[in-house]
């Protein structure tokens, strides 16, 4: 090391990063062969060793993707208008306090974005507060998304293109394997890795907890607004691929034409398919990881209940208003009446449950002092259906298997736009990474104090498996009394918060839910 630069010799070759803000930073590190040309839709292939020194000073290309209208309002979303997109996107980034043998805990961060957008260069990762405060190593990754990473082609092409529809998850596993083999060179401990992620990243972790290929590659998880339920059955995946090829006007047997399609052609077809599926099913995204019976042998929650992750310590939680923003942005919601609410609920849950769910949530919102319009009732029910209740089921499964499991609920509401965003999806991430601002998160003494308490509990968890800490206090495991950390300006542990809403879903199978 000299002149504020750092060179690390990995098992594949030398990488040159740089020093900044009290950290060593390495960006754009390749962790698998570029999945281009004949490698498109194949599982990630091993890297080849290189001679000399590769510069690791800027982010690598991100997975090809279309912009989503709501993405610009998502906390921490990179500016996709300036990012370089390429199918050869399998890169990771590392922030570390030291290049030594200190064996620091490792956070392996998987970005969100509904499995179709996003990248591992989220701005809130940059400031390094969590890295330096906790003396930990932070890793973030890119992985294939959309039609490139989550489309099953194996069945429809008779195996000529063997894509199972979980290649994006296999990318994540390849990155975890790279970390296992190399993170010690960056001051990290391969025996203490916490897989952490937000939204689709947390949903990915829910899948990884069940997958044989991921076993032993991480030891703890932090699931932030994502559980095990955002997967699709094989038949549904095949139907989606058939629709995709119809949009492209390609015969399934014509695999040569399929392989010759440009990334832009695939993105355009994906966009068209997304419109079709939104109109037909109300689905936000056309693709999700596929339960193919091999790479993903069964629905993740089924395997987790059977003990697939019984040695993994889980922390998982949600924000109070996960889908409030997206529901409010849907023009069809603004004129929703009671009849329309009931019809929509019958499409989301068993018809006999729909009236009871509506009434439970109507009363719950009254107690919260919130609006009880049909739009707000549906948005709150959808938040729990998609996020909170599946998260609780994951925590319960780990608890019942004898594994330590912790639950949280983030209820602090954004001051932006007069407070209409509520405790929206992703609002908790700037607090975890201490990336506060005046307008969106608020940055007064109370917000700063909560941010540091969230960091300290996270640091304690990744170091010891217990999030209890001096600043945030005792955080008990999620037991029969359902002890839950409720994050707000004055965070506190509560027994069974929002219990009426949770109990309303008793008997509902959360094996998987339609992507919203």
Residue ranges of E strands in 226-321: 232-233, 290-291, 313-319
Query: Rounded to whole angstroms, how far apart are CA atoms 305 and 324?
Result: 30
Q: Write down the catalytic residue from 63, 140, 166, 199.
A: 199
DSSP line for 138-174? EEEE----HHHHS---TTTTTTSS---S-HHHHHHHH
111 is catalytic: no
Q: Write down the catalytic residue from 167, 322, 434, 501.
A: 322
242 is catalytic: no
Query: Rounded to whole angstroms, how far apart are CA atoms 282 and 130?
Result: 38
308 is catalytic: no
Element spanning 192, H or E: strand 188-198
Q: Write down the catalytic residue from 425, 434, 451, 501.
A: 425
Residue ranges of E strands in 441-490: 483-487
Q: What is the 3-state secondary structure (H, E, C) of 341-410?
A: HHHHHHHHCCCCCHHHHHHHHHHHHHHHCCCCCHHHHHHHHHHHHHHHHHHHHHHHHHHHCCCCEEEEEE
In order of 26, 265, 452, 505, the CA distances from 130 in angstroms are 17, 40, 9, 36
Residues 6+ apart with CB under 8 A from 227: 202, 203, 206, 316, 387, 390, 391, 393, 394, 510
Catalytic residues: 199, 322, 425
């Amino acid at each position: 090391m000299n002149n504020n630069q750092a060179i690390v010799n990995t098992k594949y070759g030398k990488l040159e990063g740089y020093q900044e803000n009290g950290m060593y930073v390495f960006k754009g590190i390749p962790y698998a062969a570029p999945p281009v040309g004949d490698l498109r839709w194949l599982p990630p292939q091993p890297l080849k060793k290189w001679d000399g020194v590769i510069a690791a000073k800027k982010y690598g290309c991100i997975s090809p993707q279309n912009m989503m209208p709501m993405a610009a309002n998502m906390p921490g979303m990179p500016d996709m208008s300036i990012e370089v997109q390429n199918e050869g996107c399998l890169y990771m980034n590392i922030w570390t306090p030291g290049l030594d043998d200190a064996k620091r805990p490792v956070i392996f961060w998987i970005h969100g974005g509904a499995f179709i957008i996003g990248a591992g260069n989220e701005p809130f990762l940059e400031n390094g507060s969590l890295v330096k405060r906790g003396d930990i190593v932070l890793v973030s990754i890119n992985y294939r998304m959309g039609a490139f990473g989550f489309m099953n082609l194996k069945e429809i092409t008779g195996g000529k293109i063997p894509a199972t529809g979980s290649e994006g998850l296999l990318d994540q596993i390849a990155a975890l394997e790279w970390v296992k083999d190399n993170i010690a060179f960056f001051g990290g401990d391969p025996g203490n890795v916490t897989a952490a992620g937000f939204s689709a990243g947390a949903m990915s972790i829910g899948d990884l907890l069940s997958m044989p290929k991921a076993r032993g590659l991480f030891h703890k998880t932090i699931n932030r607004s994502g559980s095990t339920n955002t997967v699709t059955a094989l038949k549904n995946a095949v139907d989606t691929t058939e629709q995709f090829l119809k949009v492209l006007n390609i015969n399934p047997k014509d695999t040569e034409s399929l392989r010759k399609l440009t990334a832009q052609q695939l993105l355009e077809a994906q966009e068209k398919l997304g419109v079709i599926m939104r109109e037909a099913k109300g689905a936000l995204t056309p693709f999700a990881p596929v339960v193919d019976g091999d790479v993903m042998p069964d629905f993740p929650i089924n395997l987790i209940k059977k003990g697939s992750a019984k040695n993994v310590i889980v922390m998982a939680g949600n924000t109070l208003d996960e889908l409030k923003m997206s529901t409010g942005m849907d023009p069809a919601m603004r004129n929703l009446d009671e009849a329309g609410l009931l019809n929509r609920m019958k499409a989301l849950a068993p018809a006999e449950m729909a009236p009871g769910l509506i009434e439970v949530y109507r009363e719950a919102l009254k107690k919260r002092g919130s609006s009880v319009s049909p739009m707000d009732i549906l948005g709150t029910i959808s938040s729990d259906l998609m996020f909170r209740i599946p998260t609780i089921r994951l925590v319960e499964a780990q608890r019942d298997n004898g594994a330590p499991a912790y639950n949280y609920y983030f209820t602090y509401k954004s001051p932006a736009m007069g407070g209409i965003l509520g405790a929206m999806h992703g609002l908790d991430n700037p607090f975890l990474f201490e990336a506060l601002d005046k307008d969106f998160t608020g940055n007064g003494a109370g917000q700063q104090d909560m941010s540091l308490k969230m960091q300290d509990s996270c640091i304690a968890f990744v170091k010891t498996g217990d999030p209890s800490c001096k600043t945030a206090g005792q955080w008990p495991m999620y037991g029969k009394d359902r002890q839950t950390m409720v994050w707000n300006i004055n965070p506190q542990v509560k027994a069974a918060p929002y219990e009426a809403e949770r109990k309303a879903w008793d008997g509902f199978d959360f094996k998987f839910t339609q992507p919203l």
